[in-house]
Structure 1
Amino acid sequence: MLRAASRADRSADSESSTGHAVTASEGLVVEGLRKRYGDHTAVDGVSFSLAPGTCLAIVGESGSGKTTTVRMLVGLERPDGGTVRLDGRDRSTLPRRRAERLARAREIQMVFQDPYLSLDPRVSVSGCLDEVLRLHTDLDAAGRGTRVTRLLDQVGLGTREAAALPRDLSGGQRQRVAIARALAVEPRVLVLDEAVAALDVSIQAQIIELLGQIRSTSDISYLFVTHDLAVVRHIADEVLVLKSGQVVETGPTSRVLEAPEHPYTRLLLSSVPRRGRFPTTR
């Protein structure tokens, strides 16, 4: 079982990423996750663990099962087998009561590849964030306004963007709004499903830097889903490689990228340009 490295793991009590059981207090634990569509097995026995404050990249080509995996974690798909636990609480079955569904939604939030499709084109940025806060918190209008301002500041947006509609924003700005919306409920885990794939390289770098800044000041954990190993190096502590719904390799990012053990991982790496792919931001 993979254990993604936390800030504490970089100290003396660090453990190997293979075979080490993570206690319930250490965050997200996924064991033997399975999903079938008819005769096709999309996810076949996927297991991993994610401690607070860490980032695990789930990588693979289209059809590898990575998106199906995370959709099961957030409740958009029902697993056919396996268990999902967060802080010791089972998330394998969907709750029936509205309050329980809202509570579970607050725990794991998802940012999708195309923020334009996930944002209401008729609602301003501030209205979008206010709507989330009205649904998930007991804040009054003044409290929600303060929280909206703080969220926008956290993702590098201001009053001009707050009043804008999604169509008036750039792709990078829309993705910042999507991240702010996900952060509004203070999730334990943020799932980013190809969240920078539709952005150009310089904007990708800005979003990756933003995510790093947010993680450095909180215990939020990231599941970063991507097909692009060039991006993984800049955000993930550890990597899980999926092929045809199965885990073929796991380990610390540096080891997987520099000394991959599985032929499929080496194939993915062979398609990554070696120079000029990802600019360094300051």
Structure 2
Amino acid sequence: MTASAKEGPVVEGLVVEGLRKRYGDHTAVDGVSFSLAPGASLAIVGESGSGKTTTVRMLVGLEHPDGGTVRLDGRDRSARPRRRAERLARAREIQMVFQDPYLSLDPRVTVSGCLDEVLRLHTDLDAAGRGFRAAQLLDQVGLGTREAASLPRDLSGGQRQRVAIARALAVEPRVLVLDEAVAALDVSIQAQILELLRRIRGASGIGYLFVTHDLAVVRHIADEVLVLKSGHVVETGPAARVLEAPEHPYTRLLLASVPRRGRFPAGR
């Protein structure tokens, strides 16, 4: 055993087992299981209606599962939190970035004000400390003082998504869920955001759950791939293997819809 292996317990990351969700007679998610190691990146892929968004909404607490368990670093997140402090602690652990940042940002609040709200809620920093931390977060996502003073309507789509990422990172989550987070952006801006996310993961060790219907972006962000069809897992494995030698016909169908030459430069 190495010296580093002796230091503290092994951290298991996110472990999901047998997750289920029904809406009336419709089963949206049926027995979904997967794991995400600390600092790893998993892409959950499938067409619209495959259950991928419902799955991650259960992970962050926006939906309550009808069955199954969700654990993060050994702690069960399946039951509804009862106290405010517990709800806030859970929110800090897993954060979500949505497809349309304009809908998830308050149009009446400046970028700096948006970050200040999060920091006031989740930290003990004073006003000066919050201002310094907000500037750090904006710098981390490639924004500056001009954008800090702007309202969401004054920013481009790519800039708004960078703000949404900065807001999610403000609470130092263990896992960042990105639900179609580049789908609404132009191709060149998509590539910039994916590169930004790659750098952030390398520097922070945060884990990513990247939800997408588009396999063209998966190889640029994911270590592992999980393929959902009608609420069921039909294939899972290392991204390189799934993308180059898919085993399930549905995965092959998804890959057949991707342009052969790809949409992003090989060097990102």
Give 1:155 deviation, angstroms: 0.2
- Amino acid corresponding to residue 230 of structure 1 in structure 2: A
CA contact (8 A) 2:179 2:212 kept: yes
1:239 aligns with 2:225: yes
Match of 1:186 among 139, 157, 172: 172
Q: Aligned partners of 1:185, 1:276: CA distance in 2, in Å?
A: 35
Q: Aligned partners of 1:57, 1:164: CA distance in 2, in Å?
A: 32
Match of 1:140 among 95, 104, 126: 126
Q: Aligned partners of 1:269, 1:278: CA distance in 2, in Å?
A: 16
Structure 1: unaligned runs, 5 residues or longer: 1-22
1:61 aligns with 2:73: no
Alignment of 1:260-279 (within 5 A): 260-279=246-265
Which residue of structure 2 aligns with residue 77 of structure 1?
Answer: 63
Q: When the two structures are superposed, what TM-score results if normalisation uses the length of structure 1?
A: 0.91
Which residue of structure 2 aligns with residue 128 of structure 1?
Answer: 114
Per-residue CA deviation, residues 109-143 of structure 1 (Å, 9 max, x unaligned), is: 00000000000000000000000000000000000
CA contact (8 A) 2:158 2:189 kept: yes
Give 1:280 deviation, angstroms: 4.6
After TM superposition, what 4+ stretches of structure 1 lie above 6 angstroms from structure 2? none
Which residue of structure 2 aligns with residue 13 of structure 1?
Answer: none
Give 1:237 deviation, angstroms: 0.2
1:40 aligns with 2:26: yes
Q: Aligned partners of 1:38, 1:25: CA distance in 2, in Å?
A: 37
Match of 1:31 among 14, 17, 37: 17
Which residue of structure 2 aligns with residue 16 of structure 1?
Answer: none
Which residue of structure 2 aligns with residue 3 of structure 1?
Answer: none
Give the superposed CA RMSD. 1.1
The DSSP-based 3-state class of the residue aligned with 2:89 is helix
Match of 2:80 among 94, 98, 116: 94
CA shift in 2, pair 1:122/1:265, >3 Å: same
Q: Aligned partners of 2:117, 2:153: CA distance in 1, in Å?
A: 19
Which residue of structure 1 aligns with residue 35 of structure 2?
Answer: 49
Q: Aligned partners of 1:119, 1:70: CA distance in 2, in Å?
A: 20
Q: Aligned partners of 1:26, 1:231: CA distance in 2, in Å?
A: 27
CA contact (8 A) 2:216 2:262 kept: no
The DSSP-based 3-state class of the residue aligned with 2:11 is helix
Match of 1:220 among 206, 212, 236: 206
The DSSP-based 3-state class of the residue aligned with 2:32 is strand
Q: Aligned partners of 1:207, 1:225: CA distance in 2, in Å?
A: 15
1:170 aligns with 2:156: yes
Give 1:219 deviation, angstroms: 1.7
Task: State the percentage of identical aligned residues.
Answer: 90
Give 1:50 deviation, angstroms: 0.4
Which residue of structure 2 aligns with residue 154 of structure 1?
Answer: 140
CA contact (8 A) 1:209 1:281 kept: no
Per-residue CA deviation, residues 202-222 of structure 1 (Å, 9 max, x unaligned), is: 000000000000000112000
Give 1:279 deviation, angstroms: 3.0
Give 1:278 deviation, angstroms: 1.6
- Amino acid corresponding to residue 254 of structure 1 in structure 2: A
CA contact (8 A) 2:43 2:218 kept: yes
Per-residue CA deviation, residues 3-58 of structure 1 (Å, 9 max, x unaligned), is: xxxxxxxxxxxxxxxxxxxx972200000000000010000000000001100000
Give 1:276 deviation, angstroms: 5.0
Match of 1:255 among 214, 231, 241: 241
Structure 2: unaligned runs, 5 residues or longer: 1-8
Give 1:80 deviation, angstroms: 0.2
- Amino acid corresponding to residue 122 of structure 1 in structure 2: R
- Amino acid corresponding to residue 74 of structure 2 in structure 1: G
